[in-house]
Structure formats: structure tokens, C-alpha cells
Chain A
Amino acid sequence: MNKRAGIGFYIFLVVFVFFVMFPFIWVFLTSIKPPGEIFNNFNWFTADPSLASYENAITNRPLFRYMWNSFVVSTLTTLIAIGFASVAAYALTRLPIRFKGVILGIILAASMFPQIAIISPIYNFVTAVGLRNSYMGLVIPYITVSLPLAIWILATFFQKIPWELEESAKLDGASPFQTFRKIIFPLAAPGVFTTGILVFIAAWNEYLFALTINTSDEWRTVPVGISFYQSQFTIPWGDISAATVLVTIPIVILVLIFQRRIVAGLTSGSVKE
């Protein structure tokens, strides 16, 4: 809305982003320090930057394998969860079905129980269907855990799309499914992409299920993998910092690509069409 931002705004922005980013910046600075300098001083910069920690981070553990696993699991989770959630949310907001409140309530109830308490049953379930140490073994619980959030967010978005658009589509002879695909889904793009990013990162971040279900090193995801850098009495901060920086880069790129979509969508869409 504001066409022009002043210099003051940019100064504020820089300071603000600096504060938000500070812990991450510090982690980055730690990752390029030689091991002896990490503790015992508060110097920001080292005189002797080294990439040794990065080398350790990728040679001591299969970090890229972890990243790939996390990437596959998170992508599958996001695609399937958005697929299920968007049709469900559409039906709940746009189609004449009964018990909407009850259904939304049941779905919400699924995220009211402490996750730690359903680990054992889920572990048994995943074991029973033979999915331990596989991508699907994580994707199924992750989808389920992210469905309530996804359905609720999407429902709020679908709710706001003017009925008129849908009515006119119907007059043109479109089936409900076509209406959904051609009109609703694109118009709700900010909601869909926001949900997508949230679900993706939630799956990327999850620790406890991943630790319990995928116990073999080749199936481990990033959070679990990073926790395996430490041994019983020592925490190699340099390596962990380097690994943290490395795994954050793809997420930043991903967000850079998808955040554009958050702005498009409804408002601009309704005007254009």
C-alpha cells in the first residue's frame, strides 16, 4: 500500500532484522572459528577463519543424506497434507454437509493430545505396517499431525472467497470439483502457500517421531542427525554450528521462492478475473 519507504524505515528494518537474526549470525560466526576459539571469549570475529568445522560437519556424518531425507519427507508431507486438507476444507466450507462443527471439532481434537503420549501407539502402528526406517513411516504421522492446522487455515481462506464467483462458475456448468480446482484453489493461493510453508517447516523440524521411528542412520532426518554430532560428554559446537548453517540455506531459498505466492491470490485475483 505504501508506495515509498523512507530511509528511516530502512534503518529500522536493518536493526530489526539484525536482532531477529542475531542468534543465527552468532552461530554462523562460531562455525568459522577454529575450535580453540569457540569458548572463553566474546570476540565476534576470528582472526583466523577456517572451514574446518564445515569439513567435519559433512565428513563425520552424512549430513547431505539427512538433508535429502528431510527434503523428501517434508515435500511428500506437504503435498499430501495440502491435497487432503484443501478438499476437506472446501467441503466443510462450501458444500452442504451436516455436522460441520463436529467434524472441525474432531479434527481440532487431534492436535490437543500431547504428542509424546501418542508416540508409543504410533510406533506400534508404523511397526505393524512395516514402515519403520522408510519415508512413509514418517510421512503418515506428519500428515496427520499437520492436517488439523492445514484444514483450519484453508477453511478460513475458503470462507472469504465471494460466493458470487462460485455461483457464476456453476451457471457456466462447472462441477463442484472444477469450481474448486479452477476458482477456489487459485484464489486462496496465499492461504495455500502459507499452509504449505508451515507444514513443510513443521515436518522439517520434527524431532521425536523421527528419532523413534527411523533409527537407521541412512533414514535419519536433519534434526535427529544434528543431535547425533554430540557424544556422551562433549558437544562439538563448531560442527553443530556449521551443520545448522548448512541445513538452513535450502529452507531460506525455498521461502524466497514461495513467499512471492503469499501475496498474489485473492485480492488481485478477484480484481483481474
Chain B
Amino acid sequence: MKLWNKKVAGATVLTMSLLLAACSGDDESTDTGNNDAGSDTGGDDGATEEQEQVTITYAAGVDVTGATDKLIEEFEAQNPNIDVEYREMPADTGASHDQYVTMFSSQDASIDVFDADVIWPAEFAQGQYALELDRFIEADGINMDDYFPGTVASGQFNGRQYAMPKFTDAGLLYYRTDIVETPPTTWDELMTMAAELQGEAGTEFGYLMQANQYEGMVTNAIEFIASHGGQVVDENNEVVVNSPETIAGIQTMIDIVNSDFVPSNILSFQETETNNAWVGGQAVFARNWPYMQSTSADEEASEVAGNVGFATLPEGDAGSAATLGGWMTMINRYSENQEAAWEFVKFMTGAEGQTISAVEGGRAPTIEALYEETEVQEAATLFANEQFVETLQNAVPRPVTPIYPRISDIMQVQLSRALAGEITAEEAAANMQEEMEAAMAE
């Protein structure tokens, strides 16, 4: 525990001294290095004519909303000397991750800027794939306090900022307003109501969630665990998963998965299945990300348009908890156009870029103040909702550790076995504790 703090502190000092050097050095380093990119920090005015034209490549998952195109268009208009080439990555998060690993491990410079799931920055920082952004943040005077703290923390590793929050996500409880008057506030209430109301208004199921063996199941599990006061890895990077609170959380999850009010194939449910069943009017309640608000409202494909409400997820013994999701933006450490890359990152994750993402793509901004803007409020009913903003603010991050994929894999395997009834909640917690400790010690 001491060791951890010490390391972080050491790294912070280091970063600060680095910054100092960057700011107080000769002219070249005041310009933060890279000469050929050489854009000024304002980025949008007259000085641009003499500058060399640079092209940067931006990699991000398939985007069907058009927000990415709009962001690039707007950025290029403001920065005529920078062209942005959009490289689509697979929609499947895992597949993108693996492709990035392949590329970065061969020190590929063909991508400059890339989007990263909130769970990647620590891993990519530790693997030396990503560029520290502190000197840019400092030089441009960006106030990280404007962002939701959880999203900022997800982008940090050893005290340095490696990723800028682009948009955020948190789990929500959806309910059918034509069946339910007041949504349940606790898991127990949810179970009672789901069992009672199942079958009303043509529904087949009381509740939908994600229990397939994949990353989404981990996010569901974290919500159960955190709402009962449990933790997986604590702030000192110690594994604390084997606790009565965690066991209680897992037990609630097991109870729900094995109840009669969820689909019998809940173990193969991911977000897509949840969404399909929900818009087909098959369920009374569902846990999903904010995006389902807009798919439910689409009159063409949805049978429940107009009858969908949402609330914070039910409370356990320790209140309600929603897992932090969303995406960050990072810069490839081997990028040859770091300056231009940063300009683009700054634009996308800044107020203007996030407003475009919210309006065009329906993505929740990570800058709290933006929820006051009418333009954002009008983009989606959710954004005008205080309860939603509060949920985002308090969203629980998944463990921030460079070996997160390993931690997630251990959780997926053990929880899957527990949900399938092969082992008990106690055994699952004990196994996870043991395996995670071994993994951390390696």
C-alpha cells in the first residue's frame, strides 16, 4: 500500500519536473517539440498559411451516426493545415483492442490518434503504446477539473494523463411507463415487481440484463457488487474481491439470472439481444447503456416508442451503482505528428467537439458544464435530466490496472461458472481473490 502511493507520488514529481523542463526550456521546447507539425496552440487563425500541410490518421470504431465525420469536417475547417484521415476499426471492442495491440507492438506509426475504451489506458500506458499528454494539457491550460472525475481517473496511469475523456456512459434501468408507475429503488423491489408484472401488456420477461461471458457481464457484475458495497481492487491496488459485500452482490446477480422473470437464455444475452427484446416489447425492465433510449424511441423499429422511462439502477445495501463506460482518446507514442495529433484530440474532447458528439451522435459529454447548454439538452432527453447527469458523475470505474484484461478474464470465467450454478457465490469470490492476487504478483 505504501509502495503504491510512493510510486504514484514519484511519478507525479517526475511528470511535474518534465513539464517544468518543457515550459522553461529553449524556444524549441516551448513550442513543445515537433517542428514539422508546428501548429500554434490557438490552432485556428492566420498564422496557418506558412505551415506545412500534415495528415494525421484517426482510428475509431465504426460510427453509424455520422458524428465522427462531422467532427473531422469541423476540425479541418478550423485547422486548414491539418488533414484528418478516418480509419475505421471493428465495432467489436475486443477485436479493436487486439488489432491495436498487434499494430502498436510493432511500433506502427500509421495511426496517430485513436479512441480507447475506458478500460484500456492503463494497459496501453504500461505497454508504452501511448503518449503522455501532461505537457500538452499544461501548455494549453486545460483544466481537468472540468471533466467528470471518474473519466479523468480512467485515463491516468502512475499519475500521468494518457487519455482524454471523449464521451461517457453508465448503466441505466429502463422500464415500461405503460406498465410501471414508479420504478423500483432496490434490487429486492425489482425482483418482486419483475416477477409480478411479467406478462403484462404482452411482455414475456420481467427483466433483461447482460450475462453472456464477455466484458459486458463484468460491467453488470460491478454494478451488483458496488451497490452492495463491495470492490474488486481497492484504491491501493490490493485485491479485495473476497468480501461479504461482494458475495452479497454476486448472490443477487445469481438470484436474478436464475429467476423465472429473465429469459431462459439470459446467459447468451449481450447488449444487442437486450436491445432487440426490449424494442420488441418483450420485457418490463431492462439494464442497458444510455443508447437504448434512442433505439426505443425510433418508431419504425421499436414497438415501445413513447412507453419507455429510465431510472438509476436499483440500490443494494450500499446504494445504487452504475458502471462507468464510454471512450477516451489517446495518441500513439510513435506518431510522427504529435502536435497535430494533440490539436485534434484537444478539439474532439473539448467543449466544441463534445457538443458535436452529443448532438450528432447522442453521446454523453464528459464535461459537466455542457449539460447546461441548451444545444446539448435538446440533443437527447437524457441529457436534460439531472438524475442522469448525477448517475454519470458517480459512475463506478472498473479496476484501473495495466493487467485489466486478465482481471476481466478471471471475473468472466468465475462469474460465468457461478451464474451457471457450477459454483457458489462464495467460491466464485474466493477463486477470484486467489487468481487475481496471483496475476497481480506475477
Contact = CB atoms under 8 A, between A and B. Distances in A.
A124 B105 CA distance: 9
B325 to A, nearest CB: 10
A36 B305 CA distance: 13
Interface in B88-132: 88-93, 95, 99, 102-103, 105-106, 108, 110
A217 interface: yes
Contact of A120 (B91, B105, B291): B105
Given A36-B300, A120-B106, A233 B271 contact: yes
A232 interface: yes
A212 B102 contact: yes
A146 B91 CA distance: 29
Contact of A228 (B88, B105, B295): B88
Given A39-B276, A123-B102, A232 B95 contact: no
Contacts of A127: 106, 108
B280 A39 contact: yes
Interface in B237-254: none
A230 B95 CA distance: 13
A119 B95 CA distance: 14
Contacts of A39: 276, 280
B272 A234 contact: yes
Given A119-B102, A124-B106, A231-B63, A215 B291 contact: no
A213 to B, nearest CB: 10
Interface residues of B, number: 30
A211 B90 contact: yes
A215 B154 CA distance: 28
B64 interface: yes
A217 B289 contact: no
A50 interface: no
Interface string A123-142: 11001000010000000000
B300 A35 contact: yes
A51 interface: no
Contacts of B282: 40
B272 A227 contact: no
Contacts of B105: 120
B93 A120 contact: no
Contact of A230 (B62, B99, B289, B295): B62
B433 interface: no
A249 to B, nearest CB: 25
B87 interface: yes
Residue among A120, A217, A228, A233 having the largest count of chain B Cβ atoms under 10 Å? A233
Interface string B58-92: 00011110000000000000000000000111111
B275 interface: yes
Contact of B291 (A217, A227, A233): A233
Q: How large is the interface on A (under 10, 10 to 19, 20 to 34, 35 or more residues)?
A: 20 to 34
A235 interface: yes
B108 A232 contact: no
B301 A120 contact: no
B99 A212 contact: yes
A234 B108 contact: no
B207 to A, nearest CB: 18
Contact of B301 (A36, A123, A228, A235): A36
Given A35-B301, A36-B301, A216-B87, A231 B106 contact: no
Contact of A234 (B103, B275, B300): B275
B288 to A, nearest CB: 8
A62 to B, nearest CB: 12
Contacts of B93: 232
B272 A233 contact: yes
B79 to A, nearest CB: 23
Contacts of A227: 90-92
Residue among A123, A124, A127, A232 having the largest count of chain B Cβ atoms under 10 Å? A232
B62 A228 contact: yes
A212 B95 CA distance: 10
Contacts of A231: 61-64, 91
Given A211-B95, A211-B99, A227-B90, A233 B275 contact: yes
Contacts of B63: 231
A123 B64 CA distance: 29
Given A215-B87, A216-B87, A232 B106 contact: no
Given A215-B87, A216-B87, A234-B295, A120 B102 contact: yes
Nearest to A236: B64
B107 to A, nearest CB: 10
A153 to B, nearest CB: 32
A228 B63 CA distance: 10
Contacts of A120: 102, 105-106
Contacts of B280: 39-40
B106 A228 contact: no
A227 B62 CA distance: 10
A215 B272 CA distance: 25
A208 B282 CA distance: 36
A99 B271 CA distance: 56
B67 to A, nearest CB: 12
Contacts of B89: 215
Nearest to B108: A127
B140 to A, nearest CB: 30
14 contacts: A40-B282, A119-B102, A120-B106, A123-B103, A123-B106, A127-B108, A215-B89, A215-B99, A228-B62, A231-B62, A231-B63, A232-B271, A234-B272, A234-B295
Interface of A: 35-36, 39-40, 60, 119-120, 123-124, 127, 132, 211-212, 215-217, 227-228, 230-235
A-B pairs with lowest CB-CB distance, top 6: A233-B271, A40-B280, A231-B64, A230-B91, A124-B106, A231-B91
Interface of B: 61-64, 87-93, 95, 99, 102-103, 105-106, 108, 110, 271-272, 275-276, 280, 282, 289, 291, 295, 300-301
Given A35-B301, A127-B106, 18 more contacts: A36-B300, A40-B280, A120-B102, A120-B105, A123-B106, A127-B108, A212-B102, A215-B87, A215-B89, A227-B91, A228-B62, A230-B62, A230-B92, A231-B64, A233-B289, A234-B64, A234-B272, A235-B272
